[in-house]
Amino acid sequence: MNPLAAIGRAVLTAAAATGSLVVFAATAVGRGLIGPWYPRLVLRQMVEIGYFSLPVVGLTAIFSGMVLALQSYTGFSRFEAESAIATIVVLSMTRELGPVLAGLMVAGRVGAAMAAEIGTMRVTEQIDALTTLSTDPLRYLVFPRLIAGLLMLPLLVLVANAIGVLGGFVVSVWKLGFQPIEYINRTFEFLEPLDVISGLVKAAVFGFIVALMGCFQGYHSKGGAQGVGAATTRAVVTASILILVANYVVTELFFAR
Amino acid sequence: MSETPRLRIRGLHKRFGVKHVLRGLDLNVAAGGSTVVIGGSGTGKSVLLKCILGILQPDEGSIQVDGQELIGAAPAVVAEARARIGMLFQGGALFDSLPVWENVAFGALARRQVERRNARALAVETLAKVGLGPEVADLSPAELSGGMQKRVGLARAICTRPEMLFFDEPTTGLDPIMAEVINELIVDTVRKLGATALSITHDMGSVRRIADRVAMLYDGRIVWAGPVADLDHSGNDFVDQFVNGRAVGPIRVGAAGIGSG
């Protein structure tokens, strides 16, 4: 087997998949903006993505904040920098952990569900049925999910940030002996609006990615149950990888000197 | 048959990669009639319907509805033609996330033929036409039996009072009694609507019950077409083998493509 041919094939496959994804996203957004709009479906997806993801994102955030405080304390105490813990916790949560962990958790929960639902609709001809009933599946199924992902993940991340900071506060005050007022003051001392804003922008990008990958993989699923299962796996894996890549890109855009 | 057929297909080709499913298919469907396309699994019957509906893009050929060419036409023209066609899918293809009444009224709501506040009443009225009571309206599709799902699918197809109705394997998966009920409903609703029907099936009982004309699809082409009365003495070896269910004959099982309809 010629290794160059294998590399060429892989590159062509990746390029075709990327092109297909970009065309899918552009078509869905383009048609969705023109309308007709489905506000009830957007609302339903917002509840699904935002409200029902709160427990899992909240749990992830609180334990991340707690462990961050604990790890920072054990590390920073080696050079007597324990006072920086509050700053470390809040900056880590708002800039990185809040959006990335929420994005990954939502990818696992919502992205998988979207791919499974739309994939099942594909293999049971429900998407074809939509078309025969004068309804564009991209407008009806995909666009509301993209909008809901884009809008709800920043809100989820705001909540996750608050819960994560609370987790750090709880460990710092009750286990590490920090003064509550001093910890709170330290938390806000070096926090800048851009730290929060960059995290929210990341969250919006991640929300779009999760919804896009869930819809794209589900929409193009083939075969029966096995095809839907494979699409669900692909949706979670590709969304997770794209979140990590996009995280670096957005960080670079905001903070590169 | 009137001079301009309601549906006229010429030289239709459709490939999926190296698999050449439709190979220059020609078909006329007369207005007001009921044509059934028969053929084995995997011969491209469902592909034919999806090409007409614009769900699949044919590679070559011509599809005309009432003389209006659809291949290469503007999306609005295709959408307008599609709006005149109701479709009953093989598995019903009911939307799981919506109750039965919203499924039935979906097309009418999408085409703004009915206000949302009146849609439930329209759905209940249409459900009655397929023999289902109002108590079904608020059920989820998952709560229905296979036969009831087919009836709801039929109600959804006729709710917008389409000029053409397509039936994809309408009796597949049903017991003989329920199959007969569905056949009867198809004949009855098509007659009452005055619609043109195009069905695909390999259920010969269904063919004899619902067809005026029959066309046999084999190897991507229509190899015979004629009145249903001629089915048993068509003089066509493909039709004879298929109708009589013989393993020996010109139809090569596994060669002409055995797979999804």
**Residue B204 phi, psi (nearest 5):** -65, -30
Residues of B within 8 A of A124 (CB-CB) are 91, 93
- Please check the confidence at residue B258 and state whether its pLDDT lies above 60: no
Predicted confidence at residue B149, as pLDDT, reads: 93
Structural domain range at position A159: 23-31+38-252
A182: in domain: yes
Looking at domain B7-84+162-244, which CATH architecture does it have? Answer: 3-Layer(aba) Sandwich (3.40)
Long-range CB pairs of B126-134 (<8 Å, 24+ gap) are: B126/B155, B126/B158, B126/B159, B127/B100, B127/B101, B127/B151, B127/B152, B127/B155, B129/B155, B129/B158, B129/B189, B129/B192, B130/B154, B130/B155, B130/B158, B130/B185, B130/B189, B131/B181, B131/B185
Residues of A within 8 A of B95 (CB-CB) are 121, 126, 129-130
Predicted confidence at residue B1, as pLDDT, reads: 46
Most confident of A42-46, B66-70, B179-183: A42-46
On whether the CB atoms of residues B105 and B67 are closer than 8 A, the answer is no
| Strands B7-16 vs B60-65: parallel, antiparallel or unpaired | antiparallel
Q: Can you read off the two tokens belonging to residue B233?
A: 């003495």
On whether the CB atoms of residues B40 and B202 are closer than 8 A, the answer is yes
On whether the CB atoms of residues A165 and A90 are closer than 8 A, the answer is yes
Question: How confident is residue B257, by pLDDT bands cut at 50, 70 and 90?
Answer: very low
- Please check the confidence at residue B94 and state whether its pLDDT lies above 80: yes
- Please check the confidence at residue A80 and state whether its pLDDT lies above 90: no
Return the closest-CA partner of residue A197 out of A52, A103, A98: A98
Q: What is the ipTM of this complex?
A: 0.88
Question: How confident is residue A257, by pLDDT bands cut at 50, 70 and 90?
Answer: low
Does A133 contact B89 at a Cβ distance shorter than 8 Å? no
**How many domains does chain A divide into?**
1
Rounded mean pLDDT, A11-25: 94
Residues of A within 8 A of B76 (CB-CB) are none
Rounded mean pLDDT, B216-225: 92
Predicted confidence at residue B260, as pLDDT, reads: 40
- Please check the confidence at residue B110 and state whether its pLDDT lies above 60: yes
A67: in domain: yes
Whether omega for the bond prior to residue A3 falls within 30 degrees of 0, making it cis, is no
Closest residue in B to A120 (Cα) is B96
Rounded mean pLDDT, B106-121: 92
Rounded mean pLDDT, A142-158: 97
Return the minimum-mean-pLDDT range out of A74-83, B76-85, B133-142, B166-175: A74-83
Does A134 contact B79 at a Cβ distance shorter than 8 Å? yes
Percent of chain B with pLDDT over 90: 54
- Rounded mean pLDDT of chain B? 89
- Please check the confidence at residue B259 and state whether its pLDDT lies above 70: no
Predicted confidence at residue B254, as pLDDT, reads: 61
Provide the residue ranges of all domains of chain B, joining segments of one domain with +: 7-84+162-244, 96-157
User: Residue A163 is inside which H or E element, if any?
Assistant: helix A143-174
